[in-house]
Every structure is written in structure tokens, then in C-alpha cells.
């Protein structure tokens, strides 16, 4: 483990270090006064820094852990294979199980946004003995999205299919990352200077771009297969689940009642909260999201 340099001060009260695991080395921040451990998982193309305003509000109630997923941010980029298995959500969930147990956390809540939501789901399904609460933000299971794919979904979420192609998405993004992802000044205002600079470092690193795309390549193949196997086996999330989605994004438009999509995946009724914002809830509605997580934690028995 190597301690963070003095450049990173915006997670006040948090320590930061690289943590070497069996399959990857993760960049991770942690802090908090006690209570249940809480693992926060980011989405694409963000890093752990997307959570900074939420983490600051939760460190009085939880032991908060914010890693970069393998391939993302400052975490390592393991070599891939023909099946993209090193970037499967199962591999990423294994990282998280090892990260948390290595710190002595045997029961914890996990919250995941966007691509991190798929890792959180896989963690809850593959390691139910560890997860006592699951928070999903802005996602339905990959297999559910693909099973409902129509022209509207393909038009809105075309990047899933483009990112799964070889070589061309890397060339398109690396030609001008800010042009590809758009609105850098608006993102800086929304994210804050330090989080924005962390995001900039990530999207301008070709190795990180390739690894992030491997996440999507795994999504259409091995991740979907794992989810379909769960359905066939009748496997469900055993712990309480909270679903959060944004009224300003398209989850409600695409699925009508997103909580109903999740119902067959969960042994308990799905709790739901709708945020008046766009896709990046942790950046746009940090106080409300933190409050929702605190309230949800009361339902999560240790």
C-alpha cells in the first residue's frame, strides 16, 4: 500500500492508498467515524471522486470506502482476454469482496451508480454473506435492459453497442476526449475542481479508455450470461435493496416503473426514491442522496 500524495485534499478526513489485491490493484479512499461500512462504486466514465460530496456527508454515520473500479481511474488495468472476463462484473465484484474483507469488513452496504450498479448487483448475488444492503442508482440489470431492447433503447443507449466494437471506440474517444464526453466546463461546475481533474486524468489516458471499454464489452457477453444463469437458478438479492433514479434521465421513460423490473431479482420489496436531477445523482443531489442512504441503512441488519 502506498499513501496518497499531498495533491489530493478534497476528501477531507479520508486516507487514500493503492491496495494490492489478487487480481488488480485498486486506488481507494476511506474515512468515517464508525457505524456500518459503506462501499461506494462509481460509473462510466467517472472515478471514485464522483462521490466526494456524498462521502463527506456520510462519514459521520458510516465507515466509507470509495475505490476506483479495476480499469478505471488510478486502479490497475489487467490484461483482457477473448471473452473480456477480466472486466466482467464478477471479476470486479471479487475485487470488492477482497478489498472489504481485507479491511475486516464482514458485513456492509454497497451503493453503485451506472456501471458500478452492475458491480454492486454482482457483489450482492455472488457474496450474499457480505452484503447487508444494496443501493442501485440509475440502472436495471444488463439482461433486463437487453431483453427489452427496442428502437428507442437503441437510439438512447447506442453507446453500449458501439463501445463493444473492437478498436473504433478507442480511436473516436482518444481523438478528443472532451469533445466525445462533452461540456467540460459544465462538468467542472457540477463535479467540483478536484473531481473534475481526476475525471480529466482518466479520460485522457488511453489505457484507461481501453479498460473502460472492456467493461462494456464484457457487459454484452459474459455479464449478460451470468445474469441469465442467475434467473435460471432462481437466484435473488437476499438483502434489502434501495433503487434510486433521476426524473431528468431516461430510466423512467424506458421502463415505466423501474422498481417493477427489479422485483424478481430481490427477495424483499424494493424501496425506491426518485431524484429531481439528471443522471449523475451523487454530483447533482448529494444532500438528498446522503439522506436517502442514511434512512435506508436503518433497514439493513448487520
249 a catalytic residue: no
Residue among 18, 127, 204, 279 flagged as catalytic: 279
Helix or strand run (H / E) with residue 130: none
Greatest pairwise CA separation for the chain in angstroms: 50
Helix axes 168-175, 206-218, angle to 10 degrees: 140
Residue 298: φ, ψ to 5°? -65, -20
Residue among 68, 114, 223, 230 flagged as catalytic: 114
From CA 176, how far away is CA 108, in angstroms rounded? Answer: 39
Q: Which residues pair with 246 in a beta bridge?
A: 275
Q: Which residues pair with 29 in a beta bridge?
A: 16, 66
Question: Residues 132, 26, 278, 212: is their CA dihedral positive or negative?
Answer: negative
From CA 216, how far away is CA 223, in angstroms rounded? Answer: 9
114 a catalytic residue: yes
From CA 203, how far away is CA 11, in angstroms rounded? Answer: 21
Count of all residues that appear for the chain in the document: 302
* H-helix segments, the chain: 52-58, 89-102, 115-126, 142-147, 151-156, 158-163, 168-175, 177-181, 184-191, 193-203, 206-218, 224-233, 251-255, 258-262, 281-284, 286-297
Active-site residues, by number, are: 114, 279
Amino acid at each position: 500500500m502506498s499513501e496518497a500524495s499531498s495533491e489530493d485534499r478534497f476528501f477531507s478526513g479520508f486516507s487514500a492508498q493503492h491496495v494490492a489485491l489478487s487480481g488488480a490493484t485498486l486506488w481507494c479512499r476511506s474515512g468515517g467515524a464508525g457505524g456500518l461500512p459503506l462501499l461506494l462504486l462509481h460509473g462510466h466514465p467517472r472515478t471514485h471522486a464522483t462521490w466526494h460530496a456524498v462521502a463527506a456527508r456520510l462519514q459521520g454515520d458510516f465507515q466509507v470506502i470509495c475505490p476506483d473500479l479495476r480499469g478505471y481511474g488510478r486502479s490497475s488495468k489487467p490484461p483482457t482476454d477473448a471473452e473480456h472476463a477480466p472486466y466482467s462484473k464478477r471479476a470486479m465484484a471479487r475485487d470488492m469482496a477482497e478489498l472489504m474483507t481485507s479491511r475486516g469488513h464482514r458485513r456492509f452496504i454497497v451503493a453503485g451508480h451506472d456501471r458500478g450498479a452492475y458491480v454492486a448487483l454482482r457483489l450482492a448475488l455472488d457474496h450474499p454473506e457480505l452484503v447487508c444492503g444494496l443501493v442501485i442508482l440509475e440502472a436495471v440489470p444488463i439482461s433486463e435492459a437487453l431483453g427489452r431492447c427496442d428502437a428507442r433503447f437503441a437510439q438512447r443507449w447506442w453507446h453500449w453497442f458501439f463501445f463493444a466494437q473492437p478498436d473504433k471506440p478507442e480511436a473516436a474517444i482518444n481523438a478528443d476526449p472532451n469533445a466525445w464526453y462533452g461540456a467540460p466546463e459544465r462538468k467542472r461546475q457540477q463535479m467540483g475542481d478536484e473531481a473534475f481533474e481526476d475525471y480529466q486524468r482518466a479520460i485522457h489516458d488511453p489505457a484507461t479508455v481501453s479498460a473502460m471499454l472492456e467493461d462494456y464489452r464484457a457487459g454484452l457477453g459474459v455479464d449478460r450470461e451470468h445474469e441469465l444463469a442467475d434467473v435460471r437458478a432462481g437466484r435473488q438479492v437476499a438483502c434489502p435493496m434501495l433503487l434510486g433514479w433521476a426524473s431528468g434521465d431516461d430510466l423512467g421513460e424506458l421502463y415505466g416503473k423501474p422498481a417493477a423490473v427489479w422485483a424478481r431479482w430481490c427477495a424483499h420489496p424494493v424501496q425506491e426514491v426518485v431524484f429531481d436531477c439528471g443522471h449523475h445523482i451523487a454530483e447533482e443531489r448529494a444532500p438528498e442522496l446522503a439522506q436517502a442512504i442514511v434512512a435506508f441503512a436503518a433497514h439493513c441488519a448487520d
